[in-house]
Amino acid sequence: MKKIVLLRHGESTWNKENRFTGWTDVDLSEKGIKEAKKAGELLKKEGFTLIELIVVIIIVGILGSLGISQYGKTVEKSRGVEAKIILGQMRTIAYQYRLDNGTITGVTDAGLNIGTSPDQIPSTCRSTHYFYYSIFSAVDPVISINAYRCASGGKTPQRTATLDDEEGFWIGTAYAVGVPTPYLQLTSNLATGVDQWSSNGGY
């Protein structure tokens, strides 16, 4: 007869303080150590071997890491909504600029209201945004505008460190020197109204 055993870790020091511990490895409290020993005694009493327990722990660890990775990708993708909204606003400003000036060639960041003032679209990272923005190219009637994910100085959490080539998402915990900045780009033909989106960060 097969058995299914559900086992939770003993009380941690953060459990005791009622703090969230999902992403942080913290020590067991004194009570948690006693609970862990008791759980081991119960498992041993039921006939479970050390090898069986190790195999189960490895499997649970793998499944847990996969779940955390997928969750992280979903959350990071949702941050791209900010960039899509602001790039859409910049496209509208660019369209009006072209109407006023007869061309989009030569437009500057300031012409699309990109700058460092609080009432402007951020040209550098600031604590209210996940991305900063700039014109990539502008040759009438086509303009390409970019949103770059902040590595520091932006809204927390900052951008992640490495690219998961299979999924096209940035994963990790910190900025790595030499790693390209993840971006979202909107290329608009202001004469035809055709838009094209591209990204190297899964947004």
The pLDDT of residue 72 is 66
CB count, 10 Å around CB of 162?
13
Q: Percent of the chain having pLDDT more than 70?
A: 73
Bridge-based pairing state of the strands 194-199 and 114-115: unpaired
Can you tell me the distance from the alpha carbon of 172 to that of 194, in angstroms, rounded to the nearest whole number?
Answer: 35
The pLDDT of residue 78 is 83
Exposure on the CB side of residue 111, measured as CA atoms within 13 A: 19
Q: Which contiguous run of DSSP H or E holds residue 133?
A: strand 131-139
- Return the amino acid letter for 94: A
Can you tell me the distance from the alpha carbon of 170 to that of 79, in angstroms, rounded to the nearest whole number?
Answer: 12
User: What are the pLDDT digits (tens) for 60-115?
Assistant: 666 555 555 566 677 778 888 999 999 999 999 999 999 999 999 999 999 999 99
Q: Are residues 16 and 29 in contact, defined by beta-carbon separation less than 8 angstroms?
A: yes
The two three-digit tokens of residue 196, written as one number:
């094209």
Closest CA relative to residue 129, chosen from 73, 184, 186: 184
